[in-house]
A = this chain, B = another copy of it.
Amino acid sequence: MQKEKVCSKKKCFSPEVIKRLSLYLRDLKNLQEQEVEVISSDEITKMLDISSAQFRKDLSYFGEFGKRGVGYEVSFLIRELEKILGIYRWWDIALVGVGRLGSALLGFSGFPQFKLRITAAFDNDRKKIGKAISGVEVKSLEEMPAVIKKGGIEIGMICVPPQFAQSIAERMVGAGIKSILNFAPVSIKLPAEGIYIANVDMACELQTLVYFLNRRH
């Protein structure tokens, strides 16, 4: 969506490539559950709407993972993608805003599979503080910096109403958060260099649907 691009000294890949890799990984894991052992670029991309050439090209940036004339060994490719994407240890997440969406995310079962876990949740609503939601105790916002620092948490999730999002982002980054997934429907000005922020705005997604609905002939 945005032109966000984060580089290191090494080769720099666009978020688009990385997002596709993570889609491949997701689907490969599903295939593994169905006990598929080998798959061709053609077959796997039939599910996604991506060309097989795109798939092979995406992988080629990182190495050679298939066998010509045969295809890709599912379990091997999963391991390699996990290495590329950094899924070699657990990644802790701090969530702020335990409203309906925040609670839903706390209970989302899709995270552990990718070694992602929300280990801390914060809110400023007295009624919520102290309660546990999906096994995570809700703490007061004042405790956030200390908890983030102590836990070495690097990923933050913002689920607060839009008017508070900017200030929460700044406090997160001040506490040591290095990347943010923002669900508040508002643009956040990055408070420091080298912080990666991704936005999920459901209303924007829906509006795009509406546009194309209107355009169908």
Chain B proximity of A10: nearest CB distance (Å): 7
Tally of chain A residues near chain B (CB < 8 A):
79
Does A196 contact B212, Cβ atoms closer than 8 Å?
A: yes
With contacts A179-B213, A181-B205, A202-B181 taken as known, whether A23 is within 8 angstroms of B49 at the C-beta atoms is no
Does B30 contact A1, Cβ atoms closer than 8 Å?
A: no
Does A185 contact B104, Cβ atoms closer than 8 Å?
A: no
Does A208 contact B110, Cβ atoms closer than 8 Å?
A: no
- Binary CB contact string for chain A from 35 to 77 against chain B (1 if under 8 A, 0 otherwise): 0000000000011111100100000000000000000000000
Complex Cα gap A162–B22 (Å): 16
Copies in the assembly, this chain? 2
Complex Cα gap A216–B210 (Å): 38
Does B8 contact A216, Cβ atoms closer than 8 Å?
A: yes
Does A213 contact B110, Cβ atoms closer than 8 Å?
A: no
| A48 partner residues in chain B, CB cutoff 8 A | 2, 187
- 5 tightest A-B CB contacts, nearest first: A100-B104, A86-B214, A22-B207, A179-B209, A47-B187
Residues of A with Cβ closer than 8 Å to B?
A: 1-4, 6-10, 15-16, 18-20, 22-23, 25-27, 30, 46-51, 54, 84-87, 91, 93, 99-101, 103-105, 107-108, 110-111, 113-114, 116, 154-155, 162, 178-181, 185-187, 189-190, 194, 196, 198, 200-217
A-B CB contact pairs (8 Å), 23 listed: A1-B16, A3-B50, A3-B51, A7-B215, A19-B204, A26-B201, A27-B186, A47-B187, A87-B207, A91-B210, A93-B206, A100-B103, A110-B185, A110-B203, A114-B203, A155-B206, A155-B213, A178-B216, A179-B212, A181-B202, A181-B206, A194-B216, A196-B209
With A19-B205, A86-B207 already in contact, 16 other A-B pairs whose C-beta atoms are closer than 8 Å: A2-B49, A10-B215, A15-B208, A18-B211, A22-B207, A23-B187, A26-B203, A27-B186, A86-B214, A87-B207, A93-B206, A100-B100, A100-B103, A100-B104, A155-B209, A181-B202
